[in-house]
Homo-oligomer: A and B are copies of this chain.
Amino acid sequence: MDKRPIGIFDSGVGGLTVMREVIEQLPYENIVYLGDTARIPYGSKSEQTIKKYAYQCSLFLKNKNVKTIVVACNTASSVALNHLEDNFDIPILGVIEPGARTASKVTKNGKIGVIGTTATINSNAYQSKIMEYRQDAEVIGIPCPLFVPIVEEGWEYSQVAELTAEKYLTELIEHEVDSLVLGCTHYPILRYTIKKVVGPGVRLINPAFETARDLKKVLTEKNLLNKSYDKPKYEYYATDIPERLRRIGGNFLKKEIDNLFEVSIDNL
């Protein structure tokens, strides 16, 4: 048994939806969360820069004595995962692989939709990972740039959200996709509105949920679970404007955010 915390990082607050799923499935684990809010968004940066940032985030967490690292950021997961595995000797999990694997398993007609930020969709990360698992799949990626600000405004149940979802998702409905990957950490907050638009026949896949499931499996197999059953300790770090993380993040996590600190990781 291992009381060391799980480390989770993201370029911003979005990764808190991943933390929420981890808490749900591993309620006795201590967690350290890092949001690199000063350097968000990663999606528009070069591959080399993203690798450097992801390394610095991971090193910060390693210095907090974490037993494993979850890369909650889609961009960092797709670009930097191998680089991190080469540089750290603890298990490292990204969100792309679990999401893509699940999508390729649950689809019946082989038609899979992926929605995400423009950077994630253009990177083709989910699409090509799905094709690795299922060569005959037809994958349609749609960037939905308005979804992040809608969620950050707290408008997830508004008419604006619904009309926006209709504009983005009509093409997927016309293509008759039967499963849809929510390929951005913010999108699970919009799941009810998305479900309303795409209808009950489309299965929504939340990579955060699938990643937390993988994490539980890895910790169990490697005998790294915390079996103390004490009240777990959560710590939050942000590289800029921690108040914003507290305000928006509370809604993501459905929990008060205490133990929040501002840190600099530029020179790690």
Give the interface of A toward B (CB within 8 A).
37-38, 40, 44-45, 145-146, 149-150, 152-153, 155, 158-160, 163-164, 167, 240-241
A158 to B164, CA, bound (A): 10
* 10 contacts across the A-B interface (CB closer than 8 A): A37-B44, A38-B45, A44-B241, A145-B153, A146-B153, A146-B160, A149-B149, A160-B160, A160-B167, A163-B163
**Given the complex, which residues of B lie within 8 Å of A240, measured CB to CB?**
44
B152 pairs with A145, CB closer than 8 A: yes
A163 pairs with B152, CB closer than 8 A: no
For A37, the closest partner residue in chain B by CB is B44
Nearest chain B CB to A116 CB, angstrom units: 14
A240 to B167, CA, bound (A): 28
Nearest chain B CB to A164 CB, angstrom units: 5
A150 to B153, CA, bound (A): 14
**Given the complex, which residues of B lie within 8 Å of A40, measured CB to CB?**
44
Nearest chain B CB to A36 CB, angstrom units: 11
Besides A37-B44, A146-B146, A155-B167, 12 other A-B contacts (C-beta < 8 A): A38-B45, A44-B241, A145-B149, A145-B153, A146-B153, A149-B149, A158-B163, A159-B163, A160-B160, A160-B163, A160-B167, A163-B163
**Given the complex, which residues of B lie within 8 Å of A145, measured CB to CB?**
149, 152-153
For A152, the closest partner residue in chain B by CB is B145
For A148, the closest partner residue in chain B by CB is B149
A95 to B152, CA, bound (A): 28
For A244, the closest partner residue in chain B by CB is B118
Nearest chain B CB to A262 CB, angstrom units: 12
**Given the complex, which residues of B lie within 8 Å of A159, measured CB to CB?**
163
**Given the complex, which residues of B lie within 8 Å of A38, measured CB to CB?**
44-45
**Given the complex, which residues of B lie within 8 Å of A158, measured CB to CB?**
163, 167
**Given the complex, which residues of B lie within 8 Å of A241, measured CB to CB?**
44
Nearest chain B CB to A61 CB, angstrom units: 22
For A150, the closest partner residue in chain B by CB is B146
B146 pairs with A149, CB closer than 8 A: yes
A146 to B145, CA, bound (A): 10
**Given the complex, which residues of B lie within 8 Å of A152, measured CB to CB?**
145
For A161, the closest partner residue in chain B by CB is B160
**Given the complex, which residues of B lie within 8 Å of A155, measured CB to CB?**
167
**Given the complex, which residues of B lie within 8 Å of A167, measured CB to CB?**
155, 158, 160
A149 to B160, CA, bound (A): 13
A149 to B164, CA, bound (A): 12
Select the residue from A40, A145, A153, A160 with max chain B CB neighbours within 10 A.
A160
